[in-house]
Amino acid sequence: MMAVFWITEALPISATALLPIVFFPLLEISPIKDVTVSYAHPLIFLFLGGFILAQSLQKWNLHKRIALNIIRLIGINPNGIILGFMISAAFLSMWISNTATALMMLPIALSANQVITETGEIEAKQSRNFSIVLMLAIAYSCSLGGVATLIGTPPNALMVAYLKENFNVNIGFAQWMLLGVPFTFVAIPVAYILLTKFIYPVRFRLNNEVNIISVELKKLGTITLQEKIVAAVFSTVALLWILRPLLEDYITGISDSGIAILGGVVLFIIPAGDKSRSFILGWEDVEKISWGILILFGGGLALASAIQKSGLAEIIGNSLLADSTIPGIVIITLITVTIIFLTELTSNLATTAAFLPITASLAANMNIHPIEYAIPTALAASCAFMLPVATPPNAIVFTSGSLKISDMSKAGIFLNITFVVLIVLFVKILAPFAFNY
């Protein structure tokens, strides 16, 4: 029922995520206390802390300054501008929500697109290609950048929480980055080359310097005290996340979630240093956070836990093992293909929640480490590129009016197929090294 509601959006997806609280106790699947524990999982507080930090970036426009400076460093030729937007979007999506990143990058991109395409020196096809690629580049980079960290996209954190709860497998923030960061580093150039060289080739040069980025930077002015404070807190939190495995021997009880919440709370304490006598963040700022995502995350965990503990996952896993001679790499490929194309029509978090118990249990039944089948489930959920409904960034850039569904589908099918191969390679080559299995 939850899967149908998530696919059809008969109810808001976060409202659907509350159904386990009602039905699992009534159907004697799990007591109410066991069900509601999932909605207060430590990984939810990691996300909450990340959301609060992201809100401070957006409130003081530090995210925009970071993006514009990255674009300026890359260059002002058409392909350079596209790559600059991709790197900026990917980097920001590592730390703030994909949706927020796309919303922030879109108006900047539209301004750059207008300046470039209205020079009158570009043929119509090339102008259209540039417009399409720029929009797709932002959407795809937001999704691919989120893969790099646990807070970048919900499927990553859901996978880590599920493995901890059901298989006692611990994956830390820094450990995930051993896989996630290299994946993003490879994925962005691959997407860039496919988009600009093969699918919608961009092959024109600008005779005159396009200074839209410099103009936008001038509007921001010099970096403010508030931006410096936010940058300092954010950098400290990121450093603590990375060093946390080393600090565990000296600081009892330190955790990624605790570090995130500490960083968030500190922002309510530090004065903004302006005439308003306010602080870097007020509670009215964090009321804008996507609280529905946290509920969706909890509902996904509750559903996944019930699928696992009720024995349903084992039954499905055994049924899929009718032919036990299927090579592992074929199963990983089938998982990746299924998740990528299903996520085109459903929430990536909902898809991950429904399939994680099945794929991880399938691995366990085959005496394979559950990580090996769980990782492609999570990665594939962030790699749906064909339709506007697949991800919020896809939907956001589609609203620009610069491209049609057919434009996105044409590019998306090539990227979907390419990323099936890329995910399988990373799972078989890098994942065993990153997670020691």
CA distances from 164 to 125, 149, 171, 192, 254 (A): 51, 17, 8, 35, 17
What is the C-alpha to C-alpha distance for residues 220 and 230, in angstroms, rounded to an integer? 16
Residues 316-333: b if buried by 16+ CB within 10 A, e if exposed = bbeebeeeeeeeeeebbb
Q: How many domains does the chain have?
A: 1
> What does the pLDDT read at residue 46?
82
> What does the pLDDT read at residue 148?
95
Q: 258 in a domain, yes or no?
A: no
Q: 274 in a domain, yes or no?
A: no
> What does the pLDDT read at residue 62?
85
CB neighbours of residue 344 within 10 Å: 20
CA distances from 20 to 14, 205, 304, 395 (A): 12, 56, 11, 29
Backbone φ and ψ of 279, nearest 5°: -115, 170
CA 255 to mean position of chain CA atoms:
21
Query: Which of 2-6, 10-14, 146-150 is predicted with the least confidence, judged by mean pLDDT?
Result: 2-6
Q: 251 in a domain, yes or no?
A: no
Residues 360-386: b if buried by 16+ CB within 10 A, e if exposed = bbbbbbbebbbbbbbbbbbbbbbbbbb
Whether 209 shows a pLDDT value over 70: the answer reads no
> What does the pLDDT read at residue 344?
85
Query: Where in the sequence is the domain holding 188, given as residue range(s)?
Result: 2-40+61-223+290-435
- Tens of pLDDT, residue by residue over 54-91, are 888 888 888 778 877 876 777 668 898 899 999 999 99
Q: 276 in a domain, yes or no?
A: no
Average pLDDT taken over every residue of the chain: 86
Q: 254 in a domain, yes or no?
A: no
- Tens of pLDDT, residue by residue over 99-152, are 778 877 887 888 778 767 766 567 888 889 999 999 999 999 999 999 999 988
Average pLDDT over residues 296-323: 75
Q: Residue 223 region, left (φ>0) first, then alpha (ψ -120 to 50), else beta?
A: beta
Q: 317 in a domain, yes or no?
A: yes
Average pLDDT over residues 33-49: 87
Q: 126 in a domain, yes or no?
A: yes
Q: 83 in a domain, yes or no?
A: yes
